[in-house]
């Protein structure tokens, strides 16, 4: 490895790239660091702003079902579970440490009606009738596993690859690696279906040890899509313009004697960008141009489906405008968490999310966007075959289901298996590290070659582990 400082040519070309390329909320951030940290410029074997090899996917929409949906009631039928219902798990199953200590509780049958769907004949339960219609576009991964047994660690890990806080999330890594295609919008936006905050709060879309410019920006449907976007009340447009003009003059005078200081220039640009965003962002979130048919597809007009449907429709609009990574929390604040009353909980959660999810897939597909947009569905973990409080299930990090669609994923396939009770992933096990590596692979990034130097250490998105499941593109 070469630790010599790269010289100024590269530094300047990078800096110029950053200044020219802009990057809205994103890439400008580097300029300050470049000036003072030589190693930083040497850090990345991959050039920022482009994939390392031909990508299948350009954008990502991550539908995060927060709280832990029950794989054994949605995508992974287990006849043995119903057979042994009410009994303790057979001794042949090693006892896990669970959040609520339910290892010895009686097994809980799944009362769902299961059917094979589509040409692929993939099993989906009657809780997700609309997703079932799209099953030939899905790669259903039944063998996911993770480490965090609680929501906080689980959600943190599904976002950052480790249960302990402090690392950049997947969206930040993608933003860092690929940048944005629309400099007037953030590269990475986050939405929640309700006003509730997801577990861990904004830390879930934080850039961790990377510069804050790579963090997710919260997008809210409504009159102020991004925080502080609107000119304050009581300030007229004329006054606002006058202020920006005075500011420009002050900054130019200040810079006149400091012309080599690119940070100062970057700051001036950041005000220009802010001004442009004030003009473009409202259009991006304005849904008046969407047809009724489209809105119906997403579940508008129904109070159950509309909140999540609105986020999904906004996600499509963001992706259309070059936003790289969109994450939507459904059930923000652990609403999928069903320690008791599974039936009531999951009926509601599925009712709210199933139709808009399918609507998004169908809409993306009909517009030709699905090919380059990777859609991911899943929570921080699954649920146990053991019951909790009689009619609920505890957290299960050792085996659960997620699915991916679009972005080069071959639809209509099932990947991996869990054991006969759905407790542990057994075949083709995919840890969160592997899942993230797979997402990055689809985006044209080798997970071990995307490097950010932190405290001198070469950090990678999957913590030097993780193998992309490349067969996901071929089945």
Q: Which is nearer to other proteins, 5 or 47 (CB)?
A: 5
Stretches 45-53, 57-65, 138-146, 235-243: which one binds other proteins (CB under 8 A)? 235-243
φ, ψ dihedrals at 161, nearest 5°? 85, -10
Backbone dihedral region for residue 428 (phi beyond 0: left; psi -120 to 50: alpha; all else: beta): left
Given a contact cutoff of 8 angstroms between Cβ atoms, the answer to whether 402 and 376 are in contact is: yes
Using CB under 8 A as the binding criterion, the count of chain residues that bind other proteins stands at: 84
Q: At what angle do helices 432-442 and 170-178 cross, to 10 degrees?
A: 30
Nearest to 460 by CA among 167, 60, 40: 167
Q: Does 340 bind other proteins (CB under 8 A)?
A: no
Tokens for 271? 């005000």
* Contacting residue, 118, 129, 412, 458, with other proteins by CB under 8 A: 458
229 C-beta neighbours (distance < 10 Å), count? 13
Query: Counting every residue, how long is the chain?
Result: 475
Place of tokens 């090919």: 371
In the complex, what is the shortest distance from the CB of residue 16 to other proteins, in angstroms, rounded to a whole number?
12
Q: Are 214 and 186 spatial neighbours (Cβ–Cβ below 8 Å)?
A: no
Q: Note whether 212 binds other proteins by CB under 8 A.
A: yes
- Residues 221, 240, 25: CA angle, nearest 5 degrees: 50
Q: Which of 52, 120, 152, 417 binds other proteins (CB under 8 A)?
A: 152
Does 17 bind other proteins (CB under 8 A)? Our answer is no
Interacting residues with other proteins between 341 and 370 (CB under 8 A) = none
Q: Does 217 bind other proteins (CB under 8 A)?
A: yes
What residues between 262 and 291 interact with other proteins by CB under 8 A? Answer: 263-264, 266-268, 270-271, 273-274, 277
Picking from 324, 441, 345, 240, the residue whose alpha carbon sits closest to that of residue 58 is 324
Applying CB under 8 A, the span of 54-62, 85-93, 260-268, 309-317 interacting with other proteins comes to: 260-268
247 binds other proteins (CB under 8 A): yes
CA distance 152 to 334: 10
Q: Residue 257 interacts with other proteins (CB under 8 A)?
A: yes
- The residue (of 29 and 450) whose beta carbon lies closer to other proteins is 29
Q: Of 85, 181, 209, 290, which lies in the binding site for other proteins, with binding defined by CB under 8 A?
A: 209
Interface positions, 50-69, toward other proteins (CB under 8 A): none
The one among 261, 280, 302, 473 contacting other proteins by CB under 8 A: 261
Query: Please, are residues 179 and 49 in contact by the beta-carbon 8 Å criterion?
Result: yes
What is residue 373's three-state secondary structure? strand
Per-residue binding letters, 79-98, with other proteins (x by CB under 8 A): ----------------x-xx
Which one among 14, 29, 125, 383 touches other proteins, defined by CB under 8 A? 29
């Amino acid at each position: 490895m070469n630790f010599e400082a790269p010289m100024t040519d590269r530094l300047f070309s990078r800096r110029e790239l950053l200044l020219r390329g802009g990057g809205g909320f994103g890439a400008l951030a580097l300029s300050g660091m470049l000036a003072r940290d030589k190693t930083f410029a040497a850090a990345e074997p991959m050039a920022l702003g482009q994939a390392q090899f031909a990508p299948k996917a350009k954008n990502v929409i991550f539908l995060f079902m927060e709280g832990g949906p029950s794989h054994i009631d949605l995508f992974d039928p287990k006849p043995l579970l119903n057979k042994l219902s009410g009994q303790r798990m057979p001794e042949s199953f090693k006892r896990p440490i669970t959040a609520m200590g339910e290892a010895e509780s009686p097994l809980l049958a799944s009362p769902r009606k299961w059917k094979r769907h589509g040409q692929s004949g993939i099993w989906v339960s009657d809780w997700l009738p609309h997703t079932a219609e799209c099953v030939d576009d899905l790669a259903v991964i039944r063998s996911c596993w993770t480490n965090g047994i609680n929501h906080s660690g689980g959600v943190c890990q599904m976002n950052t690859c480790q249960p302990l806080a402090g690392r950049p999330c997947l969206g930040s890594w993608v933003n860092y690696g690929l940048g944005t295609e629309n400099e007037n919008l953030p590269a990475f936006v986050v939405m929640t279906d309700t006003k509730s905050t997801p577990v861990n709060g904004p830390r879930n879309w934080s850039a961790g040890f990377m510069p804050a410019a790579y963090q997710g920006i919260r997008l809210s449907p409504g009159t102020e899509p991004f925080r502080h976007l609107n000119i304050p009340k009581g300030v007229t447009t004329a006054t606002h313009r006058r202020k920006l003009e005075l500011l420009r003059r002050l900054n130019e005078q200040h810079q006149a004697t400091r012309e080599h200081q690119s940070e100062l220039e970057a700051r001036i640009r950041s005000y220009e960008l802010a001004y442009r965003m004030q003009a473009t962002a409202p259009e991006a979130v304005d849904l008046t141009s969407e047809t009724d048919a489209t809105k119906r597809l997403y579940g508008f007009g129904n109070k159950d489906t509309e909140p999540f449907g609105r986020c999904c429709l906004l996600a499509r609009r963001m992706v259309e405008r070059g936003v790289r990574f969109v994450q939507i929390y459904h059930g923000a604040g652990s609403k999928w968490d069903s320690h008791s009353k599974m039936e009531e909980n999951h009926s509601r959660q599925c009712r709210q999310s199933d139709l808009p999810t399918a609507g998004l897939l169908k809409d993306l597909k009909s517009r030709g966007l699905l090919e380059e947009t990777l859609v991911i569905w899943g929570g921080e973990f699954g649920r146990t075959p053991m019951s909790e409080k009689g009619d609920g299930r505890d957290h299960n990090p050792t085996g659960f289901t997620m699915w991916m669609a679009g972005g080069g994923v071959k639809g209509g396939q099932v990947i991996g298996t869990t054991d006969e009770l759905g407790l542990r992933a057994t075949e083709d096990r995919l840890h969160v590290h592997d899942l993230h590596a797979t997402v990055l692979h689809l985006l044209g990034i080798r997970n071990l070659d995307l490097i950010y130097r932190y405290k001198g250490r070469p950090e990678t998105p999957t913590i030097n582990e993780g193998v992309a499941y490349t067969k996901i593109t071929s089945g």
